[in-house]
Each structure stands twice: as C-alpha cells, then as structure tokens.
Amino acid sequence: MEIFHYETPFNKWLTIKVKEGISSIDFSDNKEEKIITSKIQDLLILFFSSGGRVLPPWEVLNVRFYSHFQIKLYKKVRKIKAGETSSYKELAEKLCCHPRIIGRMLSLNRHALFIPCHRIIRKNGFLGGYKWGRKLKEEIITWETSY
C-alpha cells in the first residue's frame, strides 16, 4: 500500500491510499508529502480545476470492500452535480430505506470528494453530519457553488 498527500483548497490535505486502485481518500492535517503518482495527480488536478465537476472514473476506485447497497448508493451520490445537493430523505426514498441508513452508509465512504457525500444534506436545508466535520462540508459546498 502506498500513501500520498495532496494539498487541497480547504486548508486540509488529502491522504490517498493506493492498492489495486485508489483504496481510500481521507482528509488530514498531515503536511508530510510523498510524491504522488502522475495518474492520481492528474485526477486530482482535473477534479480541483473543474470545481468538483469532473469525477474520476468509477473503475479507478478500489471498491471491493463496499457492500452491494453501498455501491448502489455511492453511484447515485456521484450523479449529483457539483454545486447541487440532495437530501438523505430523497436518497432513502430512491433506495427504499430509512434516511439514517443513508447517513450511516455515507459515513463509511472511503473516497472523500470522489464519492461526494458532502452533497447530501438534511431535507430542511441544514448540512447534517460529515465524517470530517460540518465546517469542511460547508467549505466544500461553498467552493463547488462558487465555480
């Protein structure tokens, strides 16, 4: 497993673990850099230069540890355009489950930004939870809408 760090516009670093594809993407305060592979760097540059509008192909994500339900949910989440949001309830209705299940499954997302769970908010318009904190969720949503 290789681990890389990539600076983001959110005053946080992405920690990227690679083994048979991108295994996980996480936010951290780690400022120790390891040179990132050019393929992953190209994906990140494209993502950030597009304001989150260009996600990498599903095939580059190592998703074998996700359940069938998670994959179904995460593919729906990836269809939400940058700068737009959907609610836990809307997703739950599409997948015939309870909104809390959606929240729980999103908290298990190992591919920050590339499975953009930050685009899921409460039906009343409040942000709801986020694995890396509401402040960062708000910053990412604001960044995407400003593009």
The residues annotated with a catalytic role in the active site are 117
Hey, what amino acid is at 13? W
- Nearest-CA neighbor of 113 among 36, 53, 69, 59? 53
Residue 4 tokens read as 């890389």
**What are residue 102's phi and psi, to 5 degrees?**
-60, -50
Interior angle at CA 31, CA 111 and CA 16, nearest 5:
20
Interior angle at CA 18, CA 13 and CA 23, nearest 5:
90
